[in-house]
Copies of this chain bind each other. A is one copy, B any other.
Amino acid sequence: MWYNVSSITDKEVINMSSNAEIIGSMLLKENIKPSYARIRIMEYLMSRKSHPTVDEIYTALVKEIPTLSKTTVYNTLNLFVKSNIARVLTIEENETRYDADMSCHGHFKCESCGVVRDFCFRSPAIDTNDLDGFLVREKNVYYYGLCPECQANKPAN
C-alpha cells in the first residue's frame, strides 16, 4: 500500500525513516510487530508534549493514513500501555491521555486554559513508610491550578 508523501522533503523522509527504524526496533524489543500504524502512533505520541487523547491522535493521523480506524488507535495504545512503553494519564475527568515518556515526571494542568505541562520531581521524594510491603510499579503525580498566562489574564477570578 502507498501513502501520500508528496509534501515531504528528502530530509524529512530520512528523518522519518530514521524515526521509524528506532521506533520499530523499540517495538520489536517488546515483541510488538512494528506495523505502519503502530509506528506512526508511537511516533506521534513521542513527538507531542501535549499527551494527546485518542481522538487527537486519530484526527491527526487519519489525514495521512485514510484507512486508519479509531479502534486501531485504542487497540494500539492499550498494547503500548500493557508493554510499559506508554502510560495512561487520568488528568482529565472524562478523557484518557497517553504519554510515551516513561521517565519520572509529574503533570500540571491549568484549570483555566487546559494546557498540560510536565515537571520533574525526585522520585523518592514522596516515599513514605505508609507503604511498607507494597510493591509500587508506577507513580502518577497530577497538579491542578493556574498557569502564569491565565493568572495574568484573570487576576480577580
Contact = CB atoms under 8 A, between A and B. Distances in A.
Which of A92, A93, A145 counts the most B-chain CB atoms under 10 A from its CB? A145
Nearest to A105: B130
Interface stretch (A35-43, A46-54, A118-126): A118-126
Interface in A133-154: 133-148, 151
Interface of A: 88, 90-93, 96, 106, 108, 110-111, 117-122, 125-128, 130-131, 133-148, 151
- In the A-B complex, the 3 residue pairs with the closest CB atoms: A119-B130, A90-B90, A133-B148
Which of A110, A140, A148 counts the most B-chain CB atoms under 10 A from its CB? A140
Contacts of A92: 90
A102 to B, nearest CB: 13
A108 B137 CA distance: 10
